[in-house]
């Protein structure tokens, strides 16, 4: 996560998270169509439980915020609201803002 805090699952990154699922539009298998997410955050992103806006800020759905299921959920998912994702150093390896915007709109509709 972007504030320097270390997640207990930070070693299990999943760098192939596609931002868009439509192969005919913006879903090409290229680096800028991916996000550096842990496995648990990848699953939450797929389920539209967390969203990432074009500025790379993390949002948590109301559906997730209403669930009360222990400290991992509270700290690992609910606790990341408003944080920034940690971006790769090279700008060429960073997520595409247009793809993030499209995916974030999908997240807002699902919320």
**pLDDT, tens digit, 9 for 90 and up, residues 43-81:** 899 899 999 999 999 999 999 988 888 887 888 888 899
The answer, yes or no, to whether residue 42 has pLDDT greater than 70, is yes
pTM: 0.74
The answer, yes or no, to whether residue 24 has pLDDT greater than 70, is no
**pLDDT category, 18, cuts 50, 70, 90?**
low
pLDDT score recorded for residue 8: 35
Q: Where are the beta strands (DSSP E) in the chain?
A: 13-18, 34-38, 50-52, 58-60
* Cα pseudo-dihedral 61, 67, 71, 73, rounded to 10: -40
* Sequence-ordered list of residues with C-beta below 8 angstroms from that of 47, at least 6 positions apart, any chain: none
- DSSP summary character for residue 76: I
Average pLDDT of 34-50? 87
């Amino acid at each position: 996560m972007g504030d320097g805090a270390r997640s207990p699952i930070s070693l299990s990154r999943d760098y192939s998270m596609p931002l868009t699922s439509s192969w005919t539009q913006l879903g090409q298998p290229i680096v800028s169509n991916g996000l550096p997410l842990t496995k648990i955050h990848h699953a939450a992103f797929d389920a539209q439980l967390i969203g990432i806006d074009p500025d790379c800020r993390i949002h948590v759905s109301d559906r997730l915020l209403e669930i009360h299921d222990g400290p991992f959920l509270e700290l690992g998912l609910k606790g990341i609201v408003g944080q920034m994702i940690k971006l790769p150093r090279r700008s060429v390896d960073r997520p595409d803002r247009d793809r993030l915007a499209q995916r974030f709109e999908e997240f807002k509709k699902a919320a």
